[in-house]
Structure 1
Amino acid sequence: MSVSSVPSFDLGSVVDRLRAAGCVFAEDEAAMIAETARDDAELRAMVDRRIAGLPLEHVLGWASFRGLRIAVDPGVFIPRRRTEFLVAEALRVTAPGAVVLDLGCGSGALGAAIAAEQQVSLYAADIELAAVRCARRNLVPWRGSVYQGDLFSALPDELRGRIDVLLANVPYVPTNEIRLLPPEARLYEPHVTLDGGPDGLTTLRRVAAAAPEWLAPGGHVFVEMSEHQAPLARAVLAEHGLAAEIVADDDLGATVVYGIKPAAARAGGSPAG
């Protein structure tokens, strides 16, 4: 449905209602709702849901991520624009044919964005069934395999030691800061996708401890963190034998920490995990 085809619900009134409800980008939201709605009745219902506080992406049923339209079901974590920086950093080291894992995949947006720009063998996993179902739909064009389970325990053993690029956009909000998040996140996204424990790094520590066992020699792991958490996150990766660095994009307000598994094990050493 195009903006011009809205028959009786004037687009200007949609903008006015959205703006009155506190939507900062009311014009853009109105246009996307009008574009997505199949008829006037659905448009009205979508506007009502948005005014009631439902995240725009859940109203639309999709989120825009690196030029892709990613399906996002209710109860599934919404991919953030800042996370496009993590994908961009990962693409720098993703060679054709690489084995890529989107761990804690949510909608599968990160894996889809990688596969859309590079030919890879794509895998994804999440503990939430709603996320797994959503990711399976999103990764169909790239023949991605999606598993349900807790981090690496979800994966087939054949992937052990073979992952070239590990995308781990795990939760990193400290537990006592969740209450400070916008209502759209607090009320409509599962807390398991937000809660990173007392300092926000609980899940990262689990990923870092097992990653060397699953990464191929020279493999990379990429995680998103806040700016102030990044130095500690880098230390966590380094503690488990990964050469770790911090990169940032000021325009997106994004900070990424990545670690590299040594191409060859040190003499007398063994991989962690």
Structure 2
Amino acid sequence: MDVVPAPSAVVDRLRAAGCVFAEDEAALLVAAAGTPGLLDDLVGRRMSGEPLEQLLGWAAFDGLRIAVAPGVFVPRRRTELLVGEAAALVRPGAVVVDLCCGSGAVGAALLARFPGLVLHAADLDPAAVRCARANLSGVPVHEGDLFAALPAELRGRVDVLVANVPYVPTPALALLPPEAREHEPRAALDGGDDGLDVARRVAAGTGEWLAPGGSLLFETGEVQVPAAVAILTAAGLDPRVVADEERGATVVVGTC
């Protein structure tokens, strides 16, 4: 279906607010608005820094439309690398856990590839859990802090543990764009002093939860790779690193 070009005035307003892809964003907002009044409201909110995906109610991710509610972390396209690496490890009958699931984007992308997947998801944020449940119909989505949220029967049975942990160092939070800093939950961004606090907690818990030969995967920054590898090694996991320059993405994988 052809996209109706947005009025030039809308494009100009978005461009003046610093939106790099003003034409594309304007077309999406026009399609979502339906009425001039709602369009004016959406454009004004976008100009004030609200994430486009939260205004639209969805984010494009791995070929899917993922529902995204206000105040919920917006899935990044670079995280598609995490999905691809996790998918390469999925075998028939595999048990997969999407930890720090946010909107459930990673789990939804894996389910789209493997419809019969045994999947559990979990997040600390109640708003994210509600959103994930909408995106992961029929999948158990648990609310709680990391492994404490998971049912006990998963201990020692998880084949693929994918964790989209926060990894922005606390001192760098102030450098994030306003749409992330002001409209996404801090817990989904703040990884502590070096950005790896949550990754450490996840890695430390894998011995109890991973099945023999199971793997933990998480995203990290390029400069954090040596420390991330050390974390996996300290947890008794065999580490490897995968990078995608085009996406600007780095994933570390640890296998027991």
TMscore range, shorter length: over 0.9
SS of 1:218's partner is strand
Q: Which of 10, 22, 26 is the matching residue for 1:30?
A: 26
Aligned residues: 255
Shift of 1:40: 3.0
TM-score (norm 2): 0.96
- The answer on whether the counterparts of 1:172 and 1:194 sit within 8 Å (CA) in structure 2 is yes
Deviations 1:74-110 (A, max 9, x none): 1111111111111111111112332111101100000
Cα displacement (A) at 1:230? 1.0
Give 1:136's match in structure 2, choosing from 133, 138, 143: 133
Greater CA radius of gyration, 1 or 2?
1
Q: Give the 3-state SS of the residue equivalent to 2:194 in structure 1.
A: coil
- The answer (yes or no) to whether the contact 1:3–1:11 under 8 Å persists in 2 is no
Return 5+ residue gaps in structure 1 as ranges. Answer: 262-273
- Paired AA for residue 212 in structure 1: G
Aligned position for 2:51: 55
Query: Is the contact between residue 2 and residue 34 of structure 1 (CA under 8 Å) also seen in structure 2?
Result: no
Residue 213 in 1 paired to residue 208 in 2? Answer: yes
1:209-240 deviation line (CA, Å, top 9, x unaligned): 10121111111111000011011101101111
Distance 1:34 1:2 in 2: 13
Give 3-state SS (helix, strand or coil) of 2:79's partner.
helix
Question: Could you say what secondary structure the match of 1:248 adopts?
Answer: strand
Paired amino acid for 2:100: G
In 1, Cα distance between equivalents of 2:26 and 2:110: 30
TM-score between the two structures when normalised by the length of structure 1: 0.90
Q: 1:163 aligns with which of 143, 155, 158?
A: 158
Q: Report the alpha carbon displacement of residue 3 of structure 1 after superposing the two structures with TM.
A: 4.7
Match in the other structure for 2:37: 41
Residue in structure 2 matched with residue 228 of structure 1 by the alignment: 223
Offset at residue 11 of structure 1 (A): 2.1
Post-superposition offset of 1:2: 7.8
Aligned to 1:105: 101
The superposition leaves residues 4-46 of structure 1 with CA deviations (integer Å, 9 ceiling, x where unpaired) of: 4x9xxx6222111111111000011011112222333322221
Counterparts of 2:121 and 2:13, CA distance in 1: 39
Give, as a single letter, the amino acid of the residue that structure 1 aligns with 2:51: P
Distance 1:120 1:164 in 2: 11
Partner of residue 9, structure 2: 13
2:82 is matched with which residue?
Answer: 86
Letter aligned with residue 51 of structure 1: M
Mapped pair 1:242 → 2:237 = yes
Q: Secondary structure at the match of 1:53?
A: coil
Q: Distance in 2 between matches of 1:179 and 1:108?
A: 26
Residue 175 in structure 1 maps to residue 170 in structure 2: yes
**RMSD between aligned residues:** 1.5
Q: Partners of 1:248 and 1:66 in 2: how far apart?
A: 17
Letter in 1 for 2:11: V
Could you tell me which amino acid in structure 1 is paired with residue 119 of structure 2?
L
